[in-house]
Structure 1
């Protein structure tokens, strides 16, 4: 991965400079025929091209594979240094996912498709950890008979725990709260 320490140098490498920020935005151009053609491109192609362009600037040794599932486009970024790209607690991964969704919506005109990106197996390891946590807490709640409330977490993480406990005979899970404070509570099923 590129170890640039100066943000200005990094932005300049991407073709972005301070002058870009201070100049008034140019008038919106008429859509070029190529832009209209891009709207007819397959979403998978648009996403794959975007992610390949992104990772080639960060670390040319990284690979990208994209596949279509029933409800989403799933991308896997792999390679020797892929794990570093996920960032602390997956924050960079989350940002890449949001940008990828935005590019897909703009370039392919498809805001109805979900985009899931995994980098170096980070999401899979995270799902395994959350599933194990759910199992441990289910045993604890079943033994004590007392509900357990977890810290606020993103919807994708809550969903993993809900799925892990969906068929559990002794406990059930529910989300409570609003917005960023929404959290999961595991309760005894009977009692």
Structure 2
């Protein structure tokens, strides 16, 4: 892969840049929101940039999907909804993860190195996943508290580890910590001593 090739070239190769407008499906009714900002206009907020990118992306996938973006204290959170939104998550959330990486990359490119976190959910996938992980954390906490033996989970992404850390943060009998490096980083649940 050529390091000199920029993001615009990659997006054009994927067919999601403004260069190939003649080959794209007709624009969605909210085309004004997906159009690039007018040169000389006031700078776009990170929230507006993220919303414009995601609306442009989903309008090409399924024009019936809708996007809402809100700012929380630690991130920009986007929700993609619609009848077929859940399909956009992909197997094990991989497509959703890729959309999130692209959204962050576009935001960072527009903002010039941003520390803004970006979280994208489609059809409630992330919420269901967080609920499942919270229940798992609670079950494992009972098991670890009863046995007194630590339990090590399989490697998982940082966002999933974070859900478990938060679920066990105030637990009186157990604590959690991340161990390992890179893709092998995993979570350990241990009895709380003392």
- TM-score bin, normalised by smaller chain: 0.7 to 0.9
The two structures have a TM-score, normalised by structure 1, of: 0.80
Aligned to 2:152: 149
Deviation of the 1:36 alpha carbon: 6.6
Max Rg structure? 1
Q: Deviations over 1:95-146 (max 9, x none)?
A: 0001001111112335121111000000000000000000000000111111
Task: Point out which structure has higher relative CO (alpha carbons under 8 A, 6+ apart).
Answer: 1
Cα distance change, pair 102–183 in 1 and its aligned pair in 2 (3 A): same
Paired residues in the alignment total: 166
Cα RMSD after superposing both structures:
2.3
Cα distance change, pair 131–37 in 1 and its aligned pair in 2 (3 A): farther
Residue 50 of structure 2 corresponds to residue 43 of structure 1: no
Runs of 5+ in structure 2 lacking a partner?
Answer: 1-12, 21-36
Aligned to 2:162: 159
Aligned to 1:134: 137
Query: CA contact under 8 A between 1:43 and 1:110: conserved in structure 2?
Result: no
Aligned to 1:178: 181
The two structures have a TM-score, normalised by structure 2, of: 0.79
Deviation of the 1:69 alpha carbon: 1.1
| Whole-angstrom CA distance in 2 between matches of 1:97 and 1:142 | 36
1:175 is paired with a residue of what secondary structure? strand
| Whole-angstrom CA distance in 1 between matches of 2:42 and 2:113 | 9
| Whole-angstrom CA distance in 2 between matches of 1:152 and 1:12 | 34
Structure 1 runs, 4 residues or longer, greater than 4 Å off: 10-17, 34-39
Query: CA contact under 8 A between 1:38 and 1:107: conserved in structure 2?
Result: no
| Whole-angstrom CA distance in 2 between matches of 1:80 and 1:132 | 27
